[in-house]
Amino acid sequence: MSSNKNYSAIPVNEDQPADSTSSVPKSRAKKHLITGVIVCIASAILISSGVALLSRGDKVAPKRNVVMMISDGFGPASETFARQYHQWREDLAPKSVMLPLDEIHVGHSRTQSSSSLVTDSAAGATAFACGLKSYNGAIGVTPTGEPCGTVLESAKHHRGMLTGLVVTSRITHATPASFNAHVTFRDYENDIAEQQIGHTPLGRSVDLMFGGGSCEFLSNATEGSCRGDQRDLFDEAKADFGWTVKRTRQEFDAIRPEDPSLPLMAIFTPQEMTAKALSILSKASKDSDTGFFLMIEGSRIDMAAHSNDPATHVHEILEYQQTAELVKAFVRNNPDTVMISTSDHETGGLTVGRQVGEDYPEYKWNPEVISQVRNSSEVLAGMWNKATESKTATEEYLKTVIIGDGLGVVDPTSDEIKRVMEWDPTKKTVEVLITYLSDIVSRRALIGVILRGSHENTEIGDFIVDYLGLDLKDITNRLTSNSGISSFAKPLDEDYASKISHHQRHHD
């Protein structure tokens, strides 16, 4: 089995299987960093009336849809950054600039986990999914490592609703996994994949999964696999749980929303995923008494922030904003639908107006620098790494192709050239190289990424429970009472006390 995990999203050729192109291996030792987190809800009136309907004691909740959008690693400074870049690019007056989420912004959420004042994506998503605080790294489990029932599982097994996950990362990543898997640590992605197709005490809980990460499903006898065994989960999904699996762009485009074959899995990430998912789920639930629950994640907002890559970060944000506009239009045409858009945390400590020298700073940043970037620092670092391995990493290639063509920078300093030229893959990771390239852009744009780090986030899960009339306690009981639970959720690797922050230990 290859040790380099390939999480490339979109096939280069239409018939090429997803995840077969090369990409930069991503470190899984991640530190997620936060500030205040924006929460956006489609209509405060709709939500208040929905809660009022349930408070009347209706035994059967009415047919409803919930679209839960999560902008991973997206804090208030990033919102300002994207808005101002859009204003500059479109030559708009400040009063004329409203991004789709600005129009429905109602507040923020508090995001600390049970183990730290600074949450990660796993604990953040578990708070949304289970309505409880857990430790950093927890996927759908309590602070003691026991599985907790999620809103997606209850929507499926109590209400008979259709359910879906749409993400721009691998489908086994922390956020989507927390809605339909239960493991004690986020890196157990082999186990997460097994649970996502249906190997749980509940059986299959998801009807539609669009995302990346084929390597977690492929046998380790297959090139590009990152499983530790020879199980082919695509075959198991089809044979044991009736999944329809699409693995090329051509197959995805051929899916007919008016006649979907559910459950449906497309493990790669074209931009049209959300539109197709909404169309499939709305049509499939049209004649039923129940609606659907769909979770959508803008995953790579966070990944670009981890790379300190401002250009990729802003374009991922604007893509998410376009998706939000699409969902808002769906809500307007389907009045029994609630849209929630929230961030799990902020990543990177982004600031606009960076001070790059010792002189008194200018109060400005330079969007034109961002507009010249043609590729992400992650891709460019991969290109430089390959050139290093093949002994073709010349200074001319660096200045012309990587920095000039890729970053749009024509005046790299000698120190910037030296730092990249002296990068040694045997001493420093590719992730370090990514930050070197990102900083070349950030310094000129005067964008800072400093790597440090209302409603509780658990209340979002509570609202979904109330709105749909769910029962997470019963789901939890079904998960934990199963005799095979020991093989379903691995025990914690360390004493739980070591996962509790000093603050929590003295204040709970």
Residue type, 214: S
Residue 351 corresponds to which amino acid?
T
Query: Can you say whether the dihedral through the CA atoms of 460, 466, 467, 471 is positive or negative?
Result: positive
Report in angstroms the alpha-carbon separations of 405 from 316, 320, 399, 437.
20, 26, 8, 13
Rounded to whole angstroms, what are the CA distances from 18 to 14, 27, 187, 316, 437?
9, 21, 21, 20, 27
Q: Rounded CA gap, 224 and 157, in Å?
A: 35
**Which of the residues are catalytic?**
121
With contact defined as beta carbons under 8 Å apart, do 302 and 347 qualify?
Answer: yes
Element (H, E) at 465: helix 458-468
Check residue 131 and report its DSSP letter. Answer: S
Return the number of other C-beta atoms located less than 10 Å from residue 141's C-beta. 27
Annotated binding site for Mg(2+): which residue ranges?
A: 72, 173, 175, 297, 344
Amino acid at 245: V
Pairing of strands 105-110, 37-41: antiparallel
Residue 401 is given by DSSP the state I
**In whole angstroms, how far apart are CA 7 and each of 21, 23, 107, 179, 349?**
9, 7, 34, 21, 25
Q: How far is CA 295 from CA 67, 171, 222, 404, 478, in A?
A: 6, 11, 30, 39, 23
CA gap 176, 193 in Å, rounded? 11
Q: Compute the C-alpha angle 446/451/457, nearest 5°.
A: 115
Q: What are the binding residues for Zn(2+)?
A: 72, 302, 306, 345
Alpha helices in 131-260, H assignment, sequence order:
151-157, 174-180, 189-197, 233-241, 249-253
DSSP E strands in 436-495: the ranges are: 447-449, 455-456
262-292: buried (b, 16+ CB within 10 Å) or exposed (e) per residue? bbbbbbbbbeebbbbbbbbbbebbeeeebbb
CA angle 252, 2, 230 (to 5 degrees): 70
Q: Binding site: which residues?
A: 72, 173, 175, 297, 302, 306, 344-345
Of 77, 108, 82, 142, nearest in space to 453 by CA: 77
